[in-house]
């Protein structure tokens, strides 16, 4: 019994280390991972780099719209606030919204997808047709509608972005569940009397993780972009909290006079999305069992 357990554990570890080994070979994925790690570290240690009350939201109208200098690395915005400090603190918001909203969609989408896939029939039809209806509405439009109805705030933003991408997760999970449901080890589990819940949680869900992880990584990028978009049109978090999309919108009027106010937040958005996409693509390849040598 003990040896069996141990060997199972070993096998599990080796499966993930195999993925990691293949991921490491992918240069683009490693670039993405490195950039992402740097951004995450900057966000985590943001308070040590720049004080929130004294630097990030403190206005200094005498220094407004200054270009990059030794004092302000990336210049100052329309209220004289340091753009570098705001970008770092803005990364917190972006990462938080990105991860939590994707979490929301994975949980809701996962539950709906596995119910639909496992039971099939009428339930499947009802759930998936509802998802189709949601899919017919552009997700950014859906998010705008949700934020307008609930009012702009960080929480509502995450809910809106999260809910608007539920259907794609439900579809992915359902498709994987369908392919696993009829395999022999599930039949075996049923034969020894395992409950539906146990089968789904212990045997099916772990096998659907790979595509969800890939979609999730790419989804964080999408969520960050949606958040920036919503903030740009004024539906994001409330000022004076720094948010990349809102920073972009704030500097828009000064584009021809102070290029740095819009350029750096724009670059930040671009960089993090590029990094997440590199990583997501790398993960897709690394997790694909058909690519095993």
Partner 1 sequence: MIRNKKLFLVVTSILVLALALAGCGQKPAEEAKGQKDTIVVAQSADAKSLDPHATNDSTSSNVMTQIYDTLVYATEDMEIQPGLAESWNQVDDTTWEFNIRKGVKFHNGEELKASDVKFTLDRMMKSSKVSHIVEAIDSVEVVDDYKVVIKTKEPFSPLLAHLAHSAAGILNEKAVKEAGDNYGQNPVGTGPFKFVSWEAGDKITLERFDDYFRGPAKLKKVIFRVVPEGTNRTIGLETGEIDIAYGIEPIDKDRVANHENLQLIEAPSLGMYYIGFNCEKAPFDNKLVRQAVSYAINPDDIIEAVLSGSGFKANSPIAPGVFGYNDKLNRYEYNPEKAKELLKEAGYENGFKTELWISGSLANQIAQIVQAQLKEIGIDVSIESLEWGTYIDRTAKGEQEMFFLGWTTVTGDADYGLYPLFHSSAKGSAGNRSFYGNPEVDKLLEQGKVATDIEKREEIYKKAQELIMEDAPIFPLFYKLQNAGTQKFIKGFKLHPAGHHKLYNIYFE
Alpha carbon separation from 167 to 81, 118, 159 (Å, rounded) = 40, 17, 14
- Residue 155 in contact with partner 1, rule: CB under 8 A: no
- Residue 152 in contact with partner 1, rule: CB under 8 A: yes
User: Closer CB to partner 1, residue 126 or residue 253?
Assistant: 253
* DSSP at 56: I
- Residue 96 in contact with partner 1, rule: CB under 8 A: no
User: Closer CB to partner 1, residue 119 or residue 254?
Assistant: 254
**Residues 174/176/178/179 CA torsion (nearest 10 deg):** 170
Mark the segment that binds partner 1 (CB under 8 A) among 24-32, 127-135, 157-165, 249-257.
Answer: 249-257
- Residue 254 in contact with partner 1, rule: CB under 8 A: yes
Q: Residue 222: which residues within 8 A CB-CB, separation 6 or more?
A: 165
Indicate the SS3 state at residue 180: helix
Instruction: Give strand pairing partners of 76.
Output: 82
User: Closer CB to partner 1, residue 42 or residue 55?
Assistant: 55
Q: What x/- string results for residues 189 through 228 when contact with partner 1 is judged by CB under 8 A?
A: ----------------------------------------
- Residue 145 in contact with partner 1, rule: CB under 8 A: no
d(CA 219, CA 279): 12
Q: How many residues make contact with partner 1 (CB under 8 A)?
A: 22
Mark the segment that binds partner 1 (CB under 8 A) among 23-31, 57-65, 114-122, 262-270.
Answer: 57-65
- Residue 64 in contact with partner 1, rule: CB under 8 A: yes
- Residue 18 in contact with partner 1, rule: CB under 8 A: no
* Residue 256 C-beta: closest distance to partner 1, Å: 7
d(CA 280, CA 116): 26
- Residue 67 in contact with partner 1, rule: CB under 8 A: no
CB atoms within 10 A of CB 258: 19
d(CA 238, CA 56): 14
Alpha carbon separation from 169 to 64, 116, 129, 215 (Å, rounded) = 44, 12, 14, 8
User: Closer CB to partner 1, residue 6 or residue 238?
Assistant: 238
Residue of 253, 267, 270, 291 interacting with partner 1 (CB under 8 A):
253
Mark the segment that binds partner 1 (CB under 8 A) among 40-48, 67-75, 144-152, 179-187.
Answer: 144-152
Mark the segment that binds partner 1 (CB under 8 A) among 37-45, 162-170, 205-213, 233-241.
Answer: 233-241
Note the helical H segments in the chain: 2-25, 27-44, 46-49, 83-119, 121-136, 139-150, 154-164, 166-181, 184-191, 196-198, 205-232, 244-251, 259-287
**Residues 274/275/281/285 CA torsion (nearest 10 deg):** 160
Residue of 52, 79, 119, 134 interacting with partner 1 (CB under 8 A):
79
- Residue 275 in contact with partner 1, rule: CB under 8 A: no
Q: Where along the sequence are the contacts to partner 1 (CB under 8 A)? A: 57-59, 61, 64, 78-79, 148, 151-152, 234, 238-240, 249-250, 252-257
């Amino acid at each position: 019994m003990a040896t069996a357990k141990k060997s199972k554990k070993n096998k599990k570890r080796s499966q993930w280390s195999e993925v990691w080994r293949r991921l490491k070979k992918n240069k683009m994925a490693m670039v993405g991972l490195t950039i992402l790690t740097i951004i995450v570290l900057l966000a985590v240690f943001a308070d040590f780099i720049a004080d929130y009350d004294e630097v990030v939201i403190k206005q200094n109208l005498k220094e407004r719209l200054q270009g990059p200098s030794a004092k302000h690395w990336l210049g100052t915005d329309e209220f004289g606030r340091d753009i570098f400090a705001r970008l770092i603190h803005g990364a917190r918001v972006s990462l938080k919204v990105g991860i939590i909203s994707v979490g929301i969609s994975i949980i809701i989408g996962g539950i709906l997808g596995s119910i639909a896939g496992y039971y099939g029939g009428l339930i499947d039809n009802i759930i998936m047709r509802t998802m189709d209806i949601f899919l017919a509405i552009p997700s950014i439009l859906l998010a705008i509608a949700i934020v307008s109805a609930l009012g702009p705030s960080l929480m509502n933003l995450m809910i809106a972005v999260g809910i608007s991408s539920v259907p794609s997760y439900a579809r992915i999970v359902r498709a994987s569940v369908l392919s696993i449901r009829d395999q022999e080890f599930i039949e075996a589990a049923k034969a020894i009397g395992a409950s539906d819940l146990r089968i789904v949680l212990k045997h099916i869900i772990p096998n659907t993780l790979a595509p969800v992880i890939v979609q999730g990584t790419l989804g964080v990028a999408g969520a960050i972009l949606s958040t920036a978009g919503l903030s740009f049109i004024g539906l994001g978090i409330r000022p004076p909290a720094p948010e990349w999309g809102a920073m972009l919108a704030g500097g828009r009027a000064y584009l021809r006079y102070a290029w740095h106010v819009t350029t750096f937040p724009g670059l930040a958005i671009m960089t993090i999305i590029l990094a997440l996409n590199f990583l997501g693509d790398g993960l897709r390849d690394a997790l694909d069992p058909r690519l095993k040598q």
